[in-house]
Amino acid sequence: MDIGVPKELRDMEFRVAVTPAIAQALVEHGHHVYVEHDAGKGSGFTDLEYEKAGARIVFSTEEAYLRADLLVKVARPTPQEFEWMREGQTVMAFFHLASARVDKILHLLRREVTAVGLELIQRDDGCSPTLRPMSELAGGMLPYVASRFLQNDHGGKGIFLGGVAGVPPAQVVIIGAGTVGCCAAKAFERAGATVHVLDNDIRKLRNAIDMLDGRVITMLAHPANIRKAVSFADVVVTAAREPGKRAPIIVTREMVKSMRRRSLIIDVAVDEGGNVETSRPTSHRNPVFMEEGVMHYCVPNITSVVARTATHALSNALLPFLLEIADQGIDAALEKDTSLARGVYTRGGHIVNKDLAAQRGKELQL
């Protein structure tokens, strides 16, 4: 099978979907891997490394698309990339179609693209093998993000996460006790902050307590508790999402207004539409904005600035699925692997993901 690996075109996106080692594994299975010139540069991989692995270098994103039966990338394709998709092609990416523009979904349908959302692939036990490594990494990065934007020179309120003798640590509120939330809680606790975790699933709260040996305060995530928690927080992290659905709004504008001035909101779910009513997507180039006197950090691709680590983690997780599709063909792979099949948004000109169809069907006149 011909496999294309394009350079990511979105601003400040340094990751690449496939490392040279993973490209070599695909080549050894008899497949052709076409890597765009400098696609791996942001992650520290040279064209020569890909060539030594057996991949072939192409010199435009368009060529990477046109040569590929299977196109694998990281970020949601740009409008131009949707134009380059071939009829019947399989494309794997973090599509996040629940929050995408309707015209992008229509393009996938018209071209009969098999669109596999890396955020949707899910095993029977609920584990998301391709999303999890990015979630773990993002959660672990959040104390560094918070420390930076709590500083006065970045517009923050001048708080040190861990406090010092005689001065209490920062109050961190995390809403959503999934992978991102638990990894963030662990990282913030290690940084010395006082950590509060909210979720509407008691089992997840127990898991957070066990993970941190009780060094965390847990609360049920009903509106009264959320309202109370955000009012005293120095940092609010929102990470509530359901695969394939738009992220729910759980922090309203009125709640944001109740927060202390120059506190910080980190909306990790912004790639799925966001959990905070006042959120809007930002970028690593301009990561924050002030709204209602509160700083908002709403970068969809948080892990892109630790690109080498992120690329290794994602590429390792992708390999089994890439080999399944390449070795067996997309039809057989989807029939055999229910985890992969759960990741499909569109196929053969139809929306096959029930959540997307239910949520966007009226807009698409389905």
Q: Find tokens 């009226």 and name the residue.
A: 362
Q: What is the pLDDT of residue 365?
A: 65
Q: What is the pLDDT of residues 172-182, one digit of tens each?
A: 999 999 999 99
Give the pairing type, strands 32-36 and 56-58.
parallel
Mean local confidence (pLDDT), 111-121: 97
135-300 matches 2-117+305-360 in CATH topology: yes
- Best CATH choice for the domain 135-300 from the list 3.40.50.300, 3.30.365.10, 3.40.50.720, 2.60.40.10: 3.40.50.720
Domain boundaries of the chain, sorted by first residue: 2-117+305-360, 135-300
User: How far apart are alpha carbons 100 and 89 in whole angstroms?
Assistant: 20
**At residue 250, does pLDDT exceed 70?**
yes
Across 98-115, average pLDDT: 93
Identify the burial level of 79 via C-beta atoms within 10 angstroms of its C-beta, where 0-12 means exposed, 13-18 middle and 19 or more buried: exposed
- Secondary structure of 329-349 as H, E, C letters: CHHHHHHHCHHHHCCEEEECC
**What is the DSSP pairing of strand 264-267 with strand 294-297?**
parallel
Q: Catalytic: 271?
A: yes
Task: Give the homologous superfamily in CATH for domain 2-117+305-360.
Answer: NAD(P)-binding Rossmann-like Domain (3.40.50.720)
Q: Which of 166, 87, 178, 184 is nearest to 132 (CA)?
A: 178
How does pLDDT run across 123-149, given as a tens digit for each residue? 999 899 999 999 999 999 999 999 999
> How does pLDDT run across 78-93, given as a tens digit for each residue?
999 999 999 999 999 9
pLDDT tens per residue across span 2-56 = 999 999 999 999 999 999 999 999 999 999 999 999 999 999 999 999 999 999 9
Among 31, 96, 107, 296, the active-site one is 96
- Going by pLDDT thresholds of 50, 70 and 90, the confidence category of residue 360 is confident
Beta strands across the sheet bearing 288-291? 217-220, 194-199, 171-175, 235-238, 264-267, 294-297, 288-291
Give, as one character, the DSSP assignment of residue 78: P
Long-range contacts of 330-339 (CB under 8 A, 24+ apart): 330/70, 330/90, 330/114, 338/124, 339/121, 339/122, 339/123, 339/124, 339/129
Helix (H, G, I), strand (E, B) or coil at 351: strand
Question: Taking the model in full, what pTM does it have?
Answer: 0.95
The residue annotated as part of the active site, out of 47, 271, 296, 337, is: 271
For residues 43-57, b (16+ Cβ closer than 10 Å) or e, as one string? Answer: bebebebbeebbbeb
Average pLDDT over residues 254-262: 97
pLDDT at 245 over 90: no
